[in-house]
Chain A
Amino acid sequence: MQRTPLYQAHEALGARIVDFAGWAMPIQYPSGINHEHLAVRQDVGVFDVSHMGELRVRGADATAFLRWSTLNDAGKLRVGRGQYSMLPNDQGGLVDDLYLYRDADDDFLVVANAGNVDVVDGHLRRLSEGFDVVIEDESERWALIAIQGPGAALLLERLSSSDLAAVRKNQTVDVHIGGCPVRLARTGYTGEDGFEAFIAPADAVAVWDLVVEAGAAPCGLGARDTLRLEAGFPLYGHELGPDTNPLATPFAWVVKDKPFFGREAMWGVEPDKRLVGLRLDGRGIARQGYEVIDERGTPLGEVTSGTLSPLTREAIAMAWVRSNHAEPGSVLQVLIRGQAVRSTVVVPPFYGR
C-alpha cells in the first residue's frame, strides 16, 4: 500500500488504518466517526486527502482542451479559482469527477480521485491528440489536507496571520503556515465552510501538527464519507460511474451546453433512472447494494450509499431509482435483510442549513 507523508502522524494519533484505493489511510481516530463528524459540523476538523491525484494540464490549448474533455466550462474559470467538474466517457457516463484549478491562463491543476489518477491521466492523454497541451502527473509533488467546519477560517487566519474573510468560495490564496508555503482553496467535501490546503510533501507533517495543535479534530475517511453523504455530495464508484448519466442526478448543473467529448451519448437522452436522496421512515439502515422496490415488490433501483446521519440520527441514503418514482415525496421501500422498509424521496442535503 502507498503511504501519504502523514502516515506516521496518523499512527501516532492512534488511527485505524485501512486500504483505500491502494493507499494506507486513516478510517477513524480513537474518538470515533460520530465525534469526528460532529466536530466538523460544529467546530473544525482536519482530513488527510493526500491520496487524491493531481494532474497538471498546460499549454496554449489548455482551456480549449479542458472545455472539450470536461463537462463544466473551464473557459469560465478565472485564474485563482477552482471548479467542480466531471470527465465524460463516450457512453453517456463518467470516467471520474474532478476539481479544476486555474493557476494561469494556460495552466490548470486537475484533482482526481485516488483510485482513478492513472485512468484519468490516460484518458486525457488520448483525448489531447491535436491539442497543444502538456499533461504531467504531479501527485507526488502535493500533500493535500482539508480543514473543514465553521471554525476553519478563524483557525487558519490565526496560523497564517492572514485575513481570509475576502477569500470567496472556490478561490485560492497563497499563505505561510509555520514558515511553510501553503496554497489554500476555499472548498471541501463536507457541506461546511472550509479549505483544502496544497502543501509540499516535506512540509505536510509540520502544517498538519500545527492545525491539530490549534484545535482541529483529526478526521478519517469514515467521517469524510458520512459528511459528504449528509451534504448530498456524490462519490465516484457509488453514485457516479461509467454508466451513470450526470444529467439524471442532482449534479446536472455541472454539465454545460457546449460541445464536449461524448455529448451525443449523454445530451438529450431521456434517462430511465434518476439519482435521488432517501430518508428511511421505518427502522433500519440502507447500505450500498440494497434493492429499492415498490409496495408490490417491483424492482425500482438500488442504494448507492447509506448510513445513519450522525447529526439528525435518521437513516439516509442515495439511490438510483426508476424515473417515474424519483419525485420528491415519492414513497418507496428499501429491502433490508428481506424486510421492506418504507422510505421517502427527499432532496439533499439531509440536514437543515
Chain B
Amino acid sequence: MHTPDSLRFVRSHEWASAPDDGVVTVGISDFAQDQLGDVVFVELPDVGRQVAAGEAIAVVESVKTASDIYAPLAGEVVAVNEALEDAPETINTEPYEGGWLFKLRVEDPAAWDGLLDAAGYEAVAEAD
C-alpha cells in the first residue's frame, strides 16, 4: 500500500491534499483503488455544489460494484477531473496524481490538520 505523507485521509478511503489558498484536491487511496479493482465508470459532482463533510458527492464504479465517494471536508466544488470520464482507469494507475476526482474550496482549512495522517490511515485500512 502506497500512502504519501503529504496527504491527509478519512476512514472512507478518500485523500485530501494540503489546502492551497483554501483549495484541497480529493481522490481515493491506493488501498481503495486496489480493493475496488478495475475502475470502469466515474460520476462526478457539479462544479459549484456546496457539500458537508462526510456527504456522498461522487460515485466510482468497478466492474463488480458501485462505491460512493464522500467529501472529506465541507466546502464548495470548484473543479472536477473530467479526464476521468474517458479514462476512469487512471484512478487505478495514478490514485494520487492523474486519478484525482475533484477540488474543494474548504470552509475551514484548519480542519485538514484534524484528518488522519498517512500512518493513522494505514492502521485504519489494515484493520478493514
Measured CA separation A284–B43 after assembly (Å)? 8
Q: How far is the CB of A34 from chain B (nearest CB, A)?
A: 5
Q: A-side binding surface: helix, strand, loop or mixed?
A: mixed
Q: Are A287 and B38 in contact (CB under 8 A)?
A: no
Q: Are A285 and B66 in contact (CB under 8 A)?
A: yes
Please judge, given known A-B contacts A285-B61, A337-B59, whether A33 and B37 are in contact too, CB under 8 Å.
yes
Q: Are A308 and B40 in contact (CB under 8 A)?
A: yes
Q: How far is the CB of B83 from chain A (nearest CB, A)?
A: 16
- Interface range, A side: 10 to 19
Best-buried of B64, B65, B66 by chain A (most CB within 10 Å): B64
Please judge, given known A-B contacts A287-B66, A308-B63, whether A34 and B38 are in contact too, CB under 8 Å.
yes
Which A residues are in CB contact (< 8 Å) with B64? 27, 33, 222, 225, 307
Closest to B88 in A: A308
Which B residues are in CB contact (< 8 Å) with A69? none
Q: Are B63 and A307 in contact (CB under 8 A)?
A: yes
Q: Does A72 contact B (CB under 8 A)?
A: no
Which A residues are in CB contact (< 8 Å) with B66? 285, 287
Q: Are A34 and B41 in contact (CB under 8 A)?
A: no
Which A residues are in CB contact (< 8 Å) with B65? 287
- Interface range, B side: 10 to 19
Measured CA separation A310–B61 after assembly (Å)? 13
Q: Are A285 and B40 in contact (CB under 8 A)?
A: yes
Q: Are A33 and B38 in contact (CB under 8 A)?
A: yes
Closest to A37 in B: B63
Which A residues are in CB contact (< 8 Å) with B59? 337
Q: Are B41 and A284 in contact (CB under 8 A)?
A: yes
Closest to B63 in A: A33
Which A residues are in CB contact (< 8 Å) with B38? 32-34
Mask, B38-64, CB within 8 Å of A = 1, is 101101000000000000000101111
Q: How far is the CB of B12 from chain A (nearest CB, A)?
A: 17
Which A residues are in CB contact (< 8 Å) with B37? 16, 28, 32-33, 222
Which B residues are in CB contact (< 8 Å) with A287? 65-66
Q: How far is the CB of A40 from chain B (nearest CB, A)?
A: 14
Closest to B59 in A: A337
Which B residues are in CB contact (< 8 Å) with A283? 41
Closest to B35 in A: A16
Measured CA separation A227–B69 after assembly (Å)? 28
Closest to B92 in A: A32
Q: Does A148 contact B (CB under 8 A)?
A: no
Measured CA separation A226–B38 after assembly (Å)? 13
Best-buried of B41, B63, B64 by chain A (most CB within 10 Å): B63
Closest to B64 in A: A222
Q: How far is the CB of B92 from chain A (nearest CB, A)?
A: 8
Q: How far is the CB of B69 from chain A (nearest CB, A)?
A: 12
Which B residues are in CB contact (< 8 Å) with A285? 40-41, 61, 66
Q: How far is the CB of B59 from chain A (nearest CB, A)?
A: 7
Which B residues are in CB contact (< 8 Å) with A34? 38, 40, 63
Mask, A191-229, CB within 8 Å of B = 1, is 000000000000000000000000000000010011000
Which A residues are in CB contact (< 8 Å) with B92? 32
Which B residues are in CB contact (< 8 Å) with A28? 37
Q: Are A222 and B63 in contact (CB under 8 A)?
A: yes
Measured CA separation A337–B59 after assembly (Å)? 10
Which 4 pairs of residues, A with B, have the shortest CB-CB distance?
A: A308-B40, A33-B63, A34-B38, A32-B38
| B residues neighboring A (CB under 8 Å) | 37-38, 40-41, 43, 59, 61-66, 92
